[in-house]
Structure 1
Amino acid sequence: MSHHHHHDDHCGHEAHAHDHDEPGGHKDNLYVRIDRPNVVALNADKEGPEVIKPWDKRLDEEVFIESDADDQLILRVPFTGSVKLRAVLLKTGPADQTPSKVLLFANENNLDFSDAADKKPTQEFAVAQGREVGEYSVMPAKFSNLTSITLFFPASQGADTTRIYYVGFLGSWSERKENPVITVYEAQANLADHEKVRGTEGNFSAPQS
């Protein structure tokens, strides 16, 4: 496994060279964009942030959260900005403690178990058993302006409890405010609007109104 050295964080200058061959690697891993102190787990033996781990800890099995009263579990994950999600990463189990599926809800900040049972998820996936991290590619259009995501695990694959070791997210992130790029675009857009209004005045009297 010696060729995996470059995953270490200290060689950030190398990251751009490996964009394409590190599907779950640093470039689009949203770990640093998760508002970890405000991650909440419902019906769990811990708070929730424990399973939001850095990429290099994704296979760690010492720290996990487990469902409490039954095998249902909800994890609410807020982001520090606006996220365009590409995939959800999960390490669960072992064996029949693996959830049967995961239901994803975009921007549902206060979802609880009664809501989750009634509401249609934004997307859902069957979860396979295994010791590796599973990557679940979402429909980007449905998760393109994400400020939080809620993961609902409705049942285990037979055990009394569901266990989650690692939850990660791949995608791109943008700040919600004070982003100079947005300011530039706005200035250009306004300019174009003014020109259009002047140039078309009297020609087309806005038929769509």
Structure 2
Amino acid sequence: MARCGDHDGCCDGESHTKNIDLGFKYSLYMRIDKENVECLNESVEGAGKKIFKAWEERKDNSKYVESDVDEELLFNIPFTGNVKLKGFIVRGGMENTHPSIVRLFKDKPNMTFDDTSAKADQEIELVQDNEGTVEYPTKVVHFSSIHHLSLHFPKNFGASKSVIYYIGLSGEWTPAHRHGVTICTYEAVPSISDHKTSTLDSVSREIQ
């Protein structure tokens, strides 16, 4: 009986299990508010939001984003709840179009390139990953409860434009508690004289 390492394909069972695990692990794309994803400097409008897809579709080259006037790309990614971001995968293009650095910002909606001069919450050097299997861990302490993520790719490996086919996000998602809570003052025995001109006052506030 062949053992792992004896020949190619002997570990298909183990590989299949790993694929299932990674597919489940990188399912956070389903918790992205896709309609409101924004990609700055994309050459085709709306292309950026299409690269947030299932891990099994990461090699689908029909869906990709290419930068426009230079190599920079900036993604504004809102979530449908609170997210504990644990890691990510970036599958970029060939021939040096793959981004070489990513800068992560938490809870800064509507970022522009002017805002990227600020210090990032985390900055990571990327490798050229044409398979979409290299995982990058995040500093979970910085991303333990976020509702928005911005990804800034300032440069690539030397090409004039950048190409990204897939961005996978892993982590935990919980519903956002956005319902208002009304705080009222009640009287055990109301007095008519106290209510000649007004009713009970109430104060409402939204819990984020």
Q: TM-score, normalised by structure 2?
A: 0.73
Identify the structure with the greater helix proportion. Answer: 1
Residue number in structure 2 paired with 1:38: 36
Q: CA deviation at 1:140?
A: 0.4
Cα deviation, 1:170-203, whole Å, max 9, x if unaligned, reads: 0000001289xxxxxxxxxxxxxxxxxxxxxxxx
CA pair 71-178 structure 1, distance change in 2 beyond 3 A: closer
Residue number in structure 2 paired with 1:160: 160
- Is the CA contact (8 Å cut-off) linking 2:90 and 2:129 kept in structure 1? no
**Residue type at the aligned position of 1:153:** F
Residue number in structure 1 paired with 2:84: 84
CA pair 33-158 structure 1, distance change in 2 beyond 3 A: same
CA distance in 1 between counterparts of 2:15 and 2:135 reads: 22
CA distance in 1 between counterparts of 2:61 and 2:14 reads: 20
CA distance in 1 between counterparts of 2:85 and 2:136 reads: 11
- Is the CA contact (8 Å cut-off) linking 2:23 and 2:54 kept in structure 1? no
CA distance in 1 between counterparts of 2:84 and 2:126 reads: 22
Residue number in structure 2 paired with 1:124: 123
Q: CA deviation at 1:95?
A: 3.0
Residue number in structure 2 paired with 1:73: 73
CA pair 3-146 structure 1, distance change in 2 beyond 3 A: same
Residue number in structure 2 paired with 1:51: 51
Residue number in structure 2 paired with 1:140: 140
Q: Does 2:169 match 1:169?
A: yes
Percent identity between matched residues is 35
CA distance in 1 between counterparts of 2:73 and 2:21 reads: 28
CA distance in 2 between counterparts of 1:126 and 1:132 reads: 17
CA distance in 1 between counterparts of 2:25 and 2:103 reads: 26
- Is the CA contact (8 Å cut-off) linking 1:39 and 1:75 kept in structure 2? yes
Cα deviation, 1:29-60, whole Å, max 9, x if unaligned, reads: 21211111111100002322111111210122
Output aligned runs, 1:190-209, within 5 Å.
none
Q: CA deviation at 1:27?
A: 4.7
Between 1:83-92 and 1:56-65, the stretch displaced more is 56-65
Residue number in structure 2 paired with 1:115: 115
| Residue correspondences, number | 166
CA pair 108-5 structure 1, distance change in 2 beyond 3 A: same
**Residue type at the aligned position of 1:57:** E
- Is the CA contact (8 Å cut-off) linking 1:80 and 1:147 kept in structure 2? yes
Q: TM-score, normalised by structure 1?
A: 0.73
**Deviation above 2 Å: which 4+ runs of structure 1?**
1-6, 20-25
**Secondary structure in 2 aligned to 1:78?**
strand
Aligned-residue Cα RMSD (Å) equals 2.4
CA distance in 2 between counterparts of 1:98 and 1:140 reads: 25
Bigger Rg over Cα: 2
